[in-house]
């Protein structure tokens, strides 16, 4: 159908051209959906999760996460005997602990 782009569109070719455009749009939508999933876009990250999921996101053992909770070093919520986290808050907590790199010149100063 790429040849049709170069040709002048006739009334007889309109249905074929419309069908081609519908297929192209469907392919683009599928690619966009795939990219959204890979990038985590369109996903609600402000949802309560349990400690096991928090440990997985943080790539830590659950015991380490429990220690951070006990030390009040990590954002969390308690309701009765359950501990909850919000995924977006955990990601922000990681981002807020950014360590600035040493500049090349100050590293070699004595």
Tokens of 102: 């040493």
Predicted confidence (pLDDT) per residue in 20-62, tens digit = 999 999 999 999 888 877 776 666 778 899 999 999 999 999 9
Task: Considering only residues 36 and 72, tell me which one the structure prediction assigns the higher pLDDT.
Answer: 72
Predicted confidence (pLDDT) per residue in 11-21, tens digit = 888 888 888 99
pLDDT for 38: 76
Domain range list for the chain: 2-39, 48-96
pLDDT for 41: 67
The separation between the first and the last C-alpha atoms of the chain, rounded to the nearest angstrom, is 68
Beta strands at 48-49 and 77-79: parallel, antiparallel or unpaired? unpaired
Average pLDDT score over the chain:
85
Q: What is the pTM of this model?
A: 0.54
Contact yes or no for 86/46 (Cβ under 8 A): yes
């Amino acid at each position: 159908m790429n040849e049709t782009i170069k040709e002048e569109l006739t009334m007889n070719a309109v249905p074929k051209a419309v069908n081609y455009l519908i297929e192209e749009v469907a392919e683009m939508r599928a690619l966009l959906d795939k990219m959204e999933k890979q990038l985590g876009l369109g996903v609600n990250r402000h949802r309560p999760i349990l400690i096991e999921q928090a440990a997985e996101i943080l790539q830590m053992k659950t015991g380490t996460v429990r220690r951070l909770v006990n030390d009040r070093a990590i954002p969390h919520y308690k309701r009765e005997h359950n501990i909850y986290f919000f995924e977006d808050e955990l990601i922000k907590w990681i981002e807020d602990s950014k360590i600035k790199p040493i500049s090349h010149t100050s590293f070699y100063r004595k």
